[in-house]
Amino acid sequence: MPAIPPLKEPLSDGHVTLRMAAERDIPEILIAYQDDPQLHIRLGEDRPPSGANLGTRSERAEGERRAGVRATLTILEPGSDDCRGQLIVHKFDWDNARADVGIWLVPQVRGRGFARRALTLAARWLFDDVGMRRLAILTEPDNQPMLHAARAAGFVDEGLLRSYGIERGRRVDLAVLSLLPEDLRR
């Protein structure tokens, strides 16, 4: 598997900045889980992570990036280094040049276009620098904020995957949206 290239420099559109995730993000991530008690559920986790869980994730991040498995980008407001959310790229299929994308934001910046902007910035990087030709988002069909942000970033609805995954011990439906390089609004 090819390595996922690191960002040469943070990505920014003047409103949102993305950089590689770092251990220094852990305090803000823990606060985000406290501020939104449903965050772990939307992310398909059984429970909110502990500081130790997040530390382990951080320690593994560079190896996962180099192995071509996962890349986690931290979302920032320009001029600040405080984590406002994260964008996770995973399920890389290098043979078919595709990957899945997930995103979460702290409650304080939701509804301000951060998700749309972060998705667009990351998609350009994934298409231009990483070599992906297709990105997908899978989310619960009732996750209207995620669906809205994905559509605003140019992702196209593909349908519903019925009983597709298991979360917290039960089967769940997932809506699937995709983005191809030609879909990306420039």
Distance in angstroms (rounded) separating the CA atoms of residues 43 and 37: 11
Q: Taking 60 as the threshold, does the pLDDT of residue 186 lie above it?
A: no
| pLDDT tens-digit series, residues 145-182 | 999 999 999 999 999 999 998 888 889 999 999 999 99
3-state secondary structure of 12: strand
| pLDDT tens-digit series, residues 7-42 | 989 999 999 999 999 999 999 999 999 999 999 998
Residue 81 burial (C-beta neighbours within 10 Å; 0-12, 13-18, 19+):
middle
| pLDDT tens-digit series, residues 57-79 | 999 999 999 999 999 999 999 89
What pLDDT does 34 receive? 97
Count the neighbouring beta carbons within 10 Å of the beta carbon of residue 107.
11
Distance in angstroms (rounded) separating the CA atoms of residues 81 and 141: 33
What pLDDT does 169 receive? 85
For the chain, the domains span 11-132
Name the fold adopted by 11-132. Aminopeptidase (3.40.630)
Count the neighbouring beta carbons within 10 Å of the beta carbon of residue 186.
5
